[in-house]
Amino acid sequence: MRIAVLFEPGKKARPVWFELNRQQHRVQETTYHWQDCVGERQFLHYAVTDGDALYELVFDPADQSWTILGQRTD
């Protein structure tokens, strides 16, 4: 998965776009963000929308990787 993220001094990382199934989705809004831990590992979660669906993007700082945990359309 490819994802573009802005890292600005003094602010949280902000996903800008990501690719899913070879299609680029532009993030229109980050609706919520949180962090959790599984054992010793910390994960950063971002609920984002492209205007059509809501996605959960997860960043693993330990290996600098991103995954998509879910997609919801109404």
Confidence (pTM): 0.87
> Cα separation of 59 and 16, whole Å?
14
pLDDT tens sequence across 31-63? 999 999 999 999 999 999 999 999 999 999 999
Residue 24: CA count within 13 A, CB half-sphere:
7
In angstroms and rounded to an integer, the radius of gyration of the C-alpha atoms of the chain is 12
Residue 23 has pLDDT above 90, yes or no: yes
Residue 74 has pLDDT above 70, yes or no: no
| Percent of residues, the chain, with pLDDT higher than 70 | 99
Residue at token pair 């010793």:
40
> Cα separation of 5 and 14, whole Å?
5
Residue 72: CA count within 13 A, CB half-sphere:
8
